[in-house]
Amino acid sequence: MPFYRFGMTTPTVRETTFQLLERHGMTTVFGNPGSNELPFLAGLPGGFRYVLGLHEGVVVGMADGYAQASGRPAFVNLHAASGTGNGMGALTNAAVSRTPLVINAGQQVRSAVGVNAMLANTDATLLTSPLTVSSSEPLTAGDVPRAFSQAIHDAVTARRGPAYVSVPYDDWDQPADASTHHLLGRTVTVSGHLGAETVGRLADDLRAATRPALVLGSDLDGRVAMDRLVAFAEYLDVDVWAAPSLYRLPFPNRHRLFRGVLPAGIASVSAALAGSDLVIVLGAPVFRYHQHEPGAYLADGSRLVQITDDPAAAARAPFGQALIADLDAAVAQLAAALGAPETPDAAREPDRFAACPTPQPGTAGRLSPHEVFAALRDTQPADTAYVVESTSTNAAFWEQMDLRHPGSYYFPASGGLGFGLPAGVGVALARPDRRVVAVVGDGSANYGITALWTAAQLRLPVTFVILRNGTYGALRWFADLLDTPNVPGLDVPDIDFVSIASGYGVPGSHVTDLNKLQELLTETPHGPRLLQLDTTLTTPA
């Protein structure tokens, strides 16, 4: 029901907007306030909570992790152009992961925007392009609630991703339009099923293929049951790959059919999939390459079919056939056409998963990342959510971890540094029922270090594991790949993260012994903690 204050006969723009946010379950506000935002935030309604980050990049990163882990859109409040600019690096990750965020930035009063007064956000709708699915600054105060309604639906419908709304701060106390109450009951439903003829043809192609393969993408995690995907793959008895540049895990990584994460180069992908005459890509672009490796997209004799709910990903693919549909519905339709079961065969359980190899030891007083990941695997609950931002240790991570639950893996989708620590906070806020471990390299940690303060203020039981090798390890690997020796600025030695964490209110330990690491990891955290580990240098592959 609408609420009225100060004797007004109609609610204000601010009141209606808060009602709308509450209607959509967006009662957590991630922000770092400035003067333009104060009229919106003053007297936050009951039932809302404000999560303060000390830098806007951290704010967006926390909201990104929260929205991904909760499966619901998150609300972000930033300060004008400068605050938006500070959050843009983190926004690149949310754009690629298509994370549903509604971002509100405070604008100067309407009369001051045209003369470019201090803190005016000129051309506000262009600022976040092309990282947002929509961007608006309402032409009238009365249109603000409708603009927010559109942003919410833009963020969660088929386009899915961050939506941006700039609002002059003198709009909030204006009366809302009389018709805005209709916004509170609106729903937008997206339903996309494959046609029966298409499903039948694809099922026939799979039956006829001599060596089909599945490539599963990040969009599946949390949207298509992992058990359904396991049952489908086992029924087909096919090689299962994860798509390149993976940021969520759709399939158990120790499953005997799992062949790993595809490398992110054209020639390498082609080589990995050689021998597969039919490649079905589910829930991923085709493909998100990284390192430049020219070559044929697929080996001769291979054919690719992409099933995605992202029209843009389907349109820009340089090869293959694309089908746009709801992912869960498409997998269910295809499984039914083939007669595949919905759940895995219990009789296969004893032989379903492969054992992890013995981790290679560290050297010269340093732990190997393999040892660290093995220790995490052996001590943490099976459904632990890992937020990972340590690119140079990717190969060691996938070798040693055993992840079998949805929502077990989060990685910066665009490679924008500063995701790990803030996203760890966001995931912990969204999933208090699960253990959260953020594994972050020492180079990456500096980009989002102030997230430790938020974790301390909220007493979130996150374990922050800092892998300190004193250098940007992934860049060293790339320098070799690109044949660019003697590049400056690759070393970051002697950073004391334990002291930094202490200053933010997070207790920390500098751990050099594997037994001590295992002992600390067996303890149940009752608040945030940081473990600084000196590690050997490794490469992503």
Check residue 3 and give its pLDDT: 44
The b/e string for 192-215 (b: 16+ C-beta within 10 A; e otherwise) is eebeeebbeebbeebeebeebbbb
| Nearest one of 434, 439, 462 to 372, comparing CA atoms | 439
Alpha-carbon distance of 76 to 102, in angstroms, equals: 6
Active-site annotation, residues: 34-35, 37, 56, 79, 290, 415
| pLDDT per position as a tens digit, 180-233 | 888 888 877 777 899 999 999 999 999 999 999 999 999 999 999 999 999 999
Instruction: For residue range 371-406, list pLDDT tens digits in order.
Output: 999 999 999 999 999 999 998 898 999 999 999 999
pLDDT of residue 166: 97
What is the rounded distance in angstroms from the CA atom of residue 237 to the CA atom of residue 231?
10
Q: Burial-class residue 253 by CB neighbours within 10 Å (0-12, 13-18, 19+).
A: buried
* 8 A C-beta contact, residue 205 and residue 145: no
- Burial of residue 169 (CB within 10 Å: 0-12, 13-18, 19+) is buried
| Residue 6, SS3 per DSSP | coil
Give the bridge partners for 241, in sequence order: 215, 260
The pLDDT assigned to 250 comes to: 97
Q: Which of 160, 34, 55 has the alpha carbon at shortest distance from 104?
A: 34
Tokens of 374: 């093995």
pTM: 0.92
In contact, 90 and 57? CB cutoff 8 Å: yes
The single-letter DSSP state of residue 340 is -
Q: Which two tokens stand for residue 533?
A: 């580990």
Contact status, residue 410 vs residue 247, Cβ threshold 8 Å: yes
Q: Is 51 helix (H, G, I), strand (E, B) or coil?
A: strand
Strand extents, DSSP E, 176-266: 212-216, 239-242, 258-261
From its phi and psi, is residue 231 left (phi > 0), alpha (psi between -120 and 50) or beta?
alpha
Beta bridge partners of 51: 30
- State the DSSP H helix or E strand holding residue 13, giving kind and residue range, or none if neither: helix 13-23
- Residue 150 is classified by DSSP as H
- Cβ distance 77 to 87 under 8 Å? no
Q: What's the confidence (pLDDT) of residue 126? A: 95
Q: Alpha-carbon distance 129 to 361, whole Å?
A: 47
- The residue among 175, 176, 196 whose CA lies nearest residue 184 is 176
Which residue in this structure is represented by tokens 């609408």?
Answer: 2
Q: Determine the distance from the C-alpha atom of residue 80 to the mean position of all C-alpha atoms in its chain, rounded to a whole number.
A: 24
Q: Which residue, chain included where needed, has tokens 């993408």?
A: 217
Helix (H, G, I), strand (E, B) or coil at 180: helix
Kind and range of the H or E run holding 409: strand 409-410
Q: Could you give the CA distance from residue 149 to residue 73 in angstroms, rounded to a whole number? A: 12
- Cα of first residue to Cα of last residue in the chain, in angstroms, is 57
Q: Which residues contact 134 (CB under 8 A, 6 or more apart)?
A: 150, 151, 154, 163, 164
Q: CA-CA distances (angstroms) from residue 339 to 231, 236, 334, 506? A: 11, 10, 9, 53
pLDDT confidence of residue 364 = 80
**Residues 226, 324: Cα–Cα separation, whole Å:** 21
- Taking only the tens of pLDDT, the chain with its 541 residues reads 344 444 446 899 999 999 999 999 999 999 999 999 999 999 999 999 999 999 999 999 999 999 999 999 999 999 999 999 999 999 999 999 999 999 999 999 999 998 999 999 989 999 999 999 999 999 999 999 999 999 999 999 878 999 999 999 999 999 998 888 888 888 777 778 999 999 999 999 999 999 999 999 999 999 999 999 999 999 999 999 999 999 999 999 999 999 999 999 999 999 999 999 999 999 999 999 988 889 999 999 999 999 999 998 998 898 999 999 999 999 999 999 999 999 999 988 889 999 999 999 998 889 999 999 999 999 999 999 999 999 889 899 999 999 999 999 999 999 889 999 999 999 999 999 999 999 999 989 999 999 999 999 999 999 999 999 866 666 666 666 677 777 776 677 789 999 999 999 999 999 999 999 999 999 999 999 999 999 987 777 6
Q: What is the DSSP string of 69-109?
A: HHSS-EEEEE-HHHHHHHHHHHHHHHHHTT--EEEEEEE--
How many CB atoms are located within 10 Å of the residue 3 CB?
Answer: 10
Q: What is the four-CA torsion angle of 242, 248, 251, 257, rounded to 10 degrees?
A: 30
List domains and CATH numbers for the chain: 13-185 (3.40.50.970), 196-351 (3.40.50.1220), 369-534 (3.40.50.970)
Q: What pLDDT is stored for residue 329 in this prediction? A: 95
Distance between CA 490 and CA 488 in Å, rounded?
6
- CA dist 327 and 321 (Å) reads 16
> Token pair of 268, please?
């390498």
